[in-house]
Amino acid sequence: MYPPASPALRRPLAVALVVVLCLATALATAVATVTLTRSSAGSPGASAPAPAPAAAAPVTTVAGAELATNAAYQRALAAAPPSGKPKVTVIGTGGTIAGVATSRSSFTDYRAGQIPIADLVAKLQPEIGVVADVETIQFGNKGSGSYTVAEFHALTLAVDKALETSDGVVVTSGTDTMEEFAYWLDLTVRSRKPVVMTGAMRPTAAVSVDGPGVIGADGPANLYNAIALAGSRATSCFGTVLMLGDEFHAARDVTKTSSYRMDTFQTRELGVLGWIDGTNVKVGRAPSRVSMCNNPAKWVTPFDLTTLPATDLPRTEIVYAYQQAGGEGITALAAAGVKGIVTAGTGAGGVSADQSAARTAAAAAGVLFVSTTRTGSGSVYGSTAPPVVAGEDLLPQKARLLLMLSLGFAKGDQAKAAAWVTSIGNPEWSTAGRVAANPAQAPAPAA
Ligand code: SIN
């Protein structure tokens, strides 16, 4: 099982995260892809006793001066209240993981959003009860694509409410728009505790909600691992992560790349954050947001949904660019009152001549644009000010959510919204004050 929050485990996890920070800064790169540490404990049987604390795992040594930079973070994690088994809340929203297929061998013919989340968790007992104390909330039970922004708003509040008393939250959803669920929660949840999204590419049960399992269904293992990951607290301060097929990804960067393949979720240029093998949680890198963990006021985004009703979030849409694309789409959206438009441009953000003319006219009428690429990876560079802001490597569907939140919270201040799109949308590791321009001139670490 995954180890509970014993001090013996928290310490290696804390050190692992500190090592992530230190190595990342030393490499002066947007992502750190270094191998860190592994936490492991014994494998449980159905009636296994309470887990023994994990043995302290070897960690990469870091220089004293660098370690001191992050000592406060290490102390904060080490001081978290020991609670024995972690408490994890699983919030169900539906999707294929809650799906019922027409037969045990039907992977594609099924109805999503049928099985209650409490039943899905119950099927994991007694094993999951050894890993964590699990409670469930049925937020909804339908396909991911039919959720509204108002429901996303309510989901954020439900997640934060659950994290007042739980050590971590798992949200299950359909995989089609799971990356949007994940990025929305990443941008809006206030708690620094772990939030893990999961789901499945194959339905769970055949014929009826309590029918036999679909052959090769991935849902049970994904849900088990997601609960274990949330309970391990390995992703504290990471924001929301997405876990499927034993791998977990940063909400901002992950995307669904295949309609049916089980390994559909990929983080194309940056790679996974880590993975789960049996009882081992391996953290290979961390989002740069971790570096602000000690400073909750900086760690959270300005998007506090307790202060803004869903009705104050403006409509934002996406327009796709292609050969000789007409400008009517942009013109019609602007006329319909859409306040922000993301263009999924060709290459490094290109739009057609007609789209460009329509964009100029819509911008003059007060629409804010974010320029992204339809290629699926790579950056769009350029302006950081209205009326057209470069989205860098944000995927269009992620940029659209960020634009909506930025416009809503900026309350008509386009420059402020543009600044948030640029800064919150494109976080990077900062090496300021940590790495000398010329490392040869850096002070020697304390003995
Ligand atoms: C959905 O997104 O709700 C259906 C597809 C899936 O869960 O994989």
Residue 42 lies in a domain: no
Q: Is 96 a catalytic residue?
A: yes
Do 186 and 335 have their domain in common?
A: no
Write a three-state SS string for 329-374. HHHHHHHCCCCEEEEEEECCCECCHHHHHHHHHHHHCCCEEEEEEC
- At residue 116's C-alpha, the angle toward residues 110 and 120, to 5°, is 85
Instruction: Establish whether residue 199 lines the binding site of ligand 1, counting it when its CB lies within 6 angstroms of any ligand atom.
Output: yes
Do 275 and 340 have their domain in common?
A: no
CATH code of the domain containing 94: 3.40.50.1170
Residue 59 lies in a domain: no
Instruction: Establish whether residue 203 lines the binding site of ligand 1, counting it when its CB lies within 6 angstroms of any ligand atom.
Output: no
**Alpha carbon distance 360, 364 (integer Å):** 6
Contact 196, 241 (CB under 8 A): yes
Residue ranges of the chain with per-residue pLDDT less than 70:
1-83, 442-447
Instruction: Establish whether residue 175 lines the binding site of ligand 1, counting it when its CB lies within 6 angstroms of any ligand atom.
Output: yes
Cα 200 to ligand 1 centroid, rounded to whole Å: 8
Cα 111 to ligand 1 centroid, rounded to whole Å: 10
Do 319 and 291 have their domain in common?
A: no
Residue 21 lies in a domain: no
Determine whether the annotation assigns residue 160 to a binding site: no
Kindly calculate the radius of gyration of the chain based on its CA atoms and give it in whole angstroms: 22
Contact 105, 58 (CB under 8 A): no
The pLDDT, as a whole number, for residue 445 is: 64
Cα 243 to ligand 1 centroid, rounded to whole Å: 15
Of the candidates 25, 93, 96, 331, the residue annotated as catalytic is 96
Do 282 and 363 have their domain in common?
A: no
Range of the domain at 356: 314-425
Residue 250 lies in a domain: yes
CATH code of the domain containing 388: 3.40.50.40
Do 293 and 319 have their domain in common?
A: no
Do 199 and 149 have their domain in common?
A: yes
Do 240 and 280 have their domain in common?
A: yes
The pLDDT, as a whole number, for residue 261 is: 97
The CB density around residue 75, as the number of other CB atoms within 10 Å, is 11
Domain end marker among 299, 333, 368:
299
Determine whether the annotation assigns residue 235 to a binding site: no
Residue 434 lies in a domain: no
CA 211 to chain centre: 32
Cα 168 to ligand 1 centroid, rounded to whole Å: 23
Do 244 and 342 have their domain in common?
A: no
Do 156 and 204 have their domain in common?
A: yes
Domain end marker among 299, 329, 363:
299
**Alpha carbon distance 195, 157 (integer Å):** 13
Amino acid at 372: T
Ligand 1 atom 8, closest CA: 175
Instruction: Establish whether residue 98 lines the binding site of ligand 1, counting it when its CB lies within 6 angstroms of any ligand atom.
Output: no
Do 120 and 235 have their domain in common?
A: yes
Contact 246, 295 (CB under 8 A): no
Contact 11, 78 (CB under 8 A): yes
Instruction: Establish whether residue 143 lines the binding site of ligand 1, counting it when its CB lies within 6 angstroms of any ligand atom.
Output: yes
Number of domains in the chain: 2
Do 288 and 371 have their domain in common?
A: no
Pocket-testing residue among 115, 175, 397, ligand 1, by greatest number of atoms within 8 A of Cβ: 175
Residue 282 lies in a domain: yes
The pLDDT, as a whole number, for residue 279 is: 85
The pLDDT, as a whole number, for residue 185 is: 99
Determine whether the annotation assigns residue 175 to a binding site: yes
Instruction: Establish whether residue 96 lines the binding site of ligand 1, counting it when its CB lies within 6 angstroms of any ligand atom.
Output: yes
Residue 40 lies in a domain: no
Do 344 and 282 have their domain in common?
A: no
Residue 62 lies in a domain: no
Domain end marker among 275, 299, 323:
299
The pLDDT, as a whole number, for residue 444 is: 67
